[in-house]
Structure 1
């Protein structure tokens, strides 16, 4: 698991966000039985930048906590067999490293900090949650229906529990 990391915001963090991203993403991929070495990018931004991205890509003129930009066009979530049976799948792998190109995650640290305070847990826990949530999006999961949301919530919580990143960890 490789995380291409960029910090484009000013908030001082009391933890290593790149190491956290690698840990959480690796756990989600293990839980999903991903048979490939994978790569994703994670960029930390402020509310102004995520608002700009949200307006540009989703036509929503407001800050949000996280945006996910999947690279793979999944037929169904985490269906890795489609990558083995498709000629177009070669575009889903880095030609140099052979890694599966999952996509990009952008997190607003400002918004994550606000949400951590709202939910009464640490910023580290909130960012870990957003990473788990986004990796699931990169694997084709969504939460447009109640059933989909329930599946994602369970998978997110399981990954964080396995890493002992809980609301009570402070």
Structure 2
């Protein structure tokens, strides 16, 4: 039997880690990894938190004392299209540890209202965005990097049937 991706999801705020959220998050991560050609079994750790939780993480890890929607902490320094190989897999689990993501569910709700789309769509977008960061994508410029990342996000959301 082939190993699959391991995607543990924890929450430090009550009521946000319902079955629907967890199923969606896992489906989005698996779809994004497949779309990017990552067939080897990986681990991606997900934390669902609130604005105060993500602000504390942002302050501690990035010296930015502000809440945000999503934070990504890649295990590897990759370039878009570059994938880690089996040699970096954890010997105990056989999984490649891609990294961690933290999502503010308060930001999910607020941005869904602001953009006038369902929370499900906003959550899927932020998870896709974070997976791409774990795989080396960035949007530091307002030009080609951002455009390439946005195109990949929309392609992945399209595969999931999640439109704007």
* Structure 1 counterpart of 2:102: 106
* Selected match of 2:162 from 153, 165, 169: 165
Q: CA RMSD in A?
A: 1.7
User: Normalization by structure 2: what TM-score?
Assistant: 0.90
Are the equivalent residues in 2 in contact too, given 1:46–1:108 (CA < 8 A)? yes
* Selected match of 2:60 from 56, 64, 68: 56
Are the equivalent residues in 2 in contact too, given 1:71–1:138 (CA < 8 A)? yes
Are the equivalent residues in 1 in contact too, given 2:89–2:97 (CA < 8 A)? yes
User: Normalization by structure 1: what TM-score?
Assistant: 0.87
Are the equivalent residues in 2 in contact too, given 1:50–1:107 (CA < 8 A)? yes
Q: How much has 1:77 moved relative to structure 2?
A: 2.1
* Structure 1 counterpart of 2:71: 67
Q: How much has 1:165 moved relative to structure 2?
A: 1.5
Q: Which sections of structure 1, spanning at least 5 residues, go unmatched? A: 85-89
Change in Cα spacing, 1:14 to 1:3, as seen in structure 2 (3 Å) is closer
Structure 1 stretches of 4+ moved >2 Å: 10-15
Are the equivalent residues in 2 in contact too, given 1:25–1:132 (CA < 8 A)? yes
Q: How much has 1:11 moved relative to structure 2?
A: 4.3
Q: Secondary structure at the match of 2:8?
A: strand
